[in-house]
């Protein structure tokens, strides 16, 4: 397939759809109409003042200049770009769900019940004993989890300073550990990107607060030695943190809790199909084993245990406190609940099966090498002596989005590909064609690519060299 993306071009000005500010601004004298003394106010405010029809056109046009899961395949490895069921939007739009977080528990029993229900769903799916919904994204979940681990160690009088992380892990793991005040111990991987058990054994010790791990790993391989790994960490007094980004591969087939993980986050915007919204909002609920439950953030929803039917939001005994100003990304959590309820046990297991089948089928159809396997829901193909980023740009012309490129680093010119379960065979073939044509194209063609997207190849270096981050900055030029 060939895809020409929509363009609305002003050739004279060398731009596509103008900025709203370029369509007309208005300056309002704030003090003119202000009920406040002048010294408490700004003088004026200058902003675009489009009419509603103009607003509608502006954003409709912008939207047409944007790729999305509803326009075609989006196989970003480790991102799990699934179809976002439309009905979950309707559920989340219920006006009765639009409540303020400071409402009394008694007055929001419906909201609390849904929270509780989702906590239970997630605990079951992850094999965890308790879940908090508060973290607003995966990385925030990581921080929550590591802070819980820290609180746990502190409570037990242990002053541990290190978090062990495999080299192939996601950047957030490292950044999280550092934010929580830990030193990062980077663990070399074995030839398959798996944890090198010997190296782990050597790295882990009495300073080890936790090992952060995702499973399957970032090239889609299951950590077969997970039981041994868990023992090593636990024996040293450390905790096991599970990065839930790849959970889609395991739904109904394996649970982090059963593998020995003590704390984990769920990326509901990956595994549970809540929309990614062009970069968020997501939600990163955190599950913990029984021993860690008392450290969960506040508030935490539980059933009322005094004989009355109902739910309450309480502060766990040794709560780490807050990781979000309120209760997290509520509108996202509703959608996750609806998605899980829609699939049920069988649907969840089937999602994993088809995600894995799709990845394997696609790998089979492409001409690139896939050095590591057997993989599950994603695979890291290598572009070999081609530049993976260039290959990706070329793929943009074929009605598909390219995979994650140049990550993880252990695979040369990696193209980390995760089609997810929602693609049918015909769109997998479209993907394969895009891979193969781009991979076979000449360097010149690749360098010129893409040629059918709204923008042609963008000069990223100059964007960083001379940052222009607002229309004000453009005006100043």
Partner 1 sequence: MSGSPYAPHTATETAEMLEAVGVADEEALFDIPEDVAFDGEFGIEPRTEREIRAECARLFARNDDLVEFLGRGHYSHYVPSVVDHLADRAEFITSYTQYQPEITQGFLQALFEYQSLLVELTGLPVANCSMYDAATALAEAATLADRVRSTSGDVVLIPEHLREGKRGVLENYCAGADLTVESYPMDDGNADVDALADRVGEDVVMVYAENPTVRGCIEERLAEIGEVAAEADALFTLGSDVVALSVLEEPASVGADVVVGEAGALGLPAAYGMGLGVFACKDDYLRQVPGRLVGASEDAEGTRAYTLTLQTREQHIRKERATSNICTNQAWVALRAAIHAATLGPDGLVELAHDCVRDAEALAADLDALSGVAAPVHDRHHLREFAVRTDQPAAAIAGDLEAEGFAVHVIGEHLIEVCVTDLNADRTDALVEAFEEVL
Ligand X SMILES: Cc1ncc(COP(=O)(O)O)c(C=O)c1O
Are 187 and 225 spatial neighbours (Cβ–Cβ below 8 Å)? no
- Nearest-CB residue to ligand X? 138
Residues of this chain, 206-225, that bind its own copies according to CB under 8 A: none
Please classify residue 476 by burial: count the beta carbons closer than 10 Å to its beta carbon, then call 0-12 exposed, 13-18 middle and 19+ buried.
exposed
48 binds, among partner 1, its own copies, ligand X, none (CB under 5 to 8 A by kind): partner 1
- Least distance (Å) between residue 402 CB and its own copies: 17
By CB under 8 A, is residue 361 in contact with its own copies?
A: no
Residue 78 binds what, of ligand X, partner 1, its own copies, none (CB under 5 to 8 Å, by partner type)?
A: ligand X
Could you tell me how far CA 156 lies from the centroid of its own chain?
32
Torsion of CA 40, 46, 52, 54, to 10 degrees: -170
CB 97 to its own copies: min, Å: 16
Q: Which of 48, 85, 373, 412 binds its own copies (CB under 8 A)?
A: 85
Cα angle 212, 177, 408; round to 5? 55
- Number of neighbouring beta carbons within 10 Å of residue 279: 6
SS3 for 187-236, per residue? ECECCCCCECHHHHHHHCCCCEEEEEEECCCCCCECCCCHHHHHHHHHHC
The rounded distance, in Å, linking the Cα atoms of 422 and 73 is 9
Residue 214 contacts which entry, partner 1, its own copies, ligand X, none (Cβ below 5-8 A, type-dependent): ligand X
Q: Shortest gap between Cβ of 275 and its own copies (angstroms)?
A: 12
Nearest-CA neighbor of 141 among 265, 269, 296? 265
Q: Taking the complex as a whole, how short is the minimal distance between the CB of residue 15 and partner 1, in angstroms? A: 4
Binding mask 429-468 for its own copies (x = CB under 8 A): ----------------------------------------
Name which of partner 1, ligand X, its own copies, none residue 110 binds, using a CB cut-off of 5 to 8 Å depending on partner kind.
partner 1
Cβ burial of 458 (10 Å; 0-12, 13-18, 19+) is exposed
Which of 1/167 has CB closer to its own copies?
1
d(CA 33, CA 169): 55
Cβ closest to partner 1, residue 287 vs residue 402: 402
- Summarize as ranges the residues that interact with its own copies (CB under 8 A): 1-11, 23-24, 51-54, 56-57, 60-61, 64, 68-72, 83, 85-86, 399, 422-424, 426
């Amino acid at each position: 397939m060939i895809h020409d993306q929509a363009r609305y071009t002003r050739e004279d000005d060398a731009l596509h759809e103008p900025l709203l500010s370029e369509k007309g601004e208005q300056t309002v004298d704030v003090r003119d109409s202000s009920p406040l003394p002048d010294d408490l106010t700004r003088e004026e405010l200058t902003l675009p003042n489009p009419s509603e029809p103009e607003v509608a056109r502006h954003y409709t046009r912008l939207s047409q200049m944007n790729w999305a899961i509803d326009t075609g395949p989006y196989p970003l490895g480790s991102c799990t770009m699934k179809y976002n069921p439309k009905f979950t939007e309707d559920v989340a739009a219920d006006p009765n769900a639009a409540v303020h977080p400071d409402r009394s528990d008694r007055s929001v029993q419906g909201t609390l019940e849904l929270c509780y229900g989702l906590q239970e769903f997630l605990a079951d799916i992850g094999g965890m004993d308790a879940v908090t919904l508060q973290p607003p994204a995966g990385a925030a979940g990581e921080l929550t989890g590591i802070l819980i681990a820290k609180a746990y160690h502190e409570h037990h009088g242990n002053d541990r300073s290190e978090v062990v992380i495999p080299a192939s892990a996601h950047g957030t793991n490292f950044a999280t550990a550092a934010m929580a005040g830990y030193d990062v111990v980077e663990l070399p991987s074995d030839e398959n990107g798996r944890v090198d058990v010997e190296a782990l054994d050597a790295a882990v010790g009495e300073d080890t607060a936790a090992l952060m791990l995702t499973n399957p790993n970032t090239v889609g391989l299951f950590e077969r030695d997970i039981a041994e790994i868990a023992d090593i960490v636990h024996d040293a007094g450390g905790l096991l943190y599970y990065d839930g980004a790849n959970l889609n591969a395991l739904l109904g087939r394996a649970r982090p809790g059963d593998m020995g993980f003590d704390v984990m986050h769920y990326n509901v915007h990956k595994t549970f199909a809540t929309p990614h919204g062009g970069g968020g909002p997501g939600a990163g609920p955190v599950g913990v084993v029984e021993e860690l439950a008392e450290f969960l953030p506040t508030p935490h929803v539980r059933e009322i245990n005094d004989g009355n039917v109902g739910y309450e939001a309480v502060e766990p005994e040794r709560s780490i406190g807050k990781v979000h100003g309120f209760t997290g990304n509520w509108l996202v959590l509703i959608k996750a609940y609806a998605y899980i309820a829609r699939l049920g046990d069988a649907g969840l297991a089937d999602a994993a099966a088809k995600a894995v089948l799709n990845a394997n089928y696609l790998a089979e159809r492409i001409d690139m090498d896939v050095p590591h396997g057997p993989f599950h829901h994603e695979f890291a193909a290598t572009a070999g002596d081609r530049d993976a980023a260039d290959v990706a740009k070329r793929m943009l012309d074929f009605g598909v989005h390219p995979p994650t490129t140049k990550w993880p680093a252990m695979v040369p010119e990696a193209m980390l590909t995760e089609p997810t379960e929602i693609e049918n065979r015909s769109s997998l073939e479209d993907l394969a064609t895009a891979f193969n044509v781009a991979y076979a194209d000449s360097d010149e063609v690749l360098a010129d690519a893409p040629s059918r997207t709204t923008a042609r190849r963008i000069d990223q270096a100059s964007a960083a060299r001379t940052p222009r981050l607002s229309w004000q900055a453009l005006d100043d030029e």
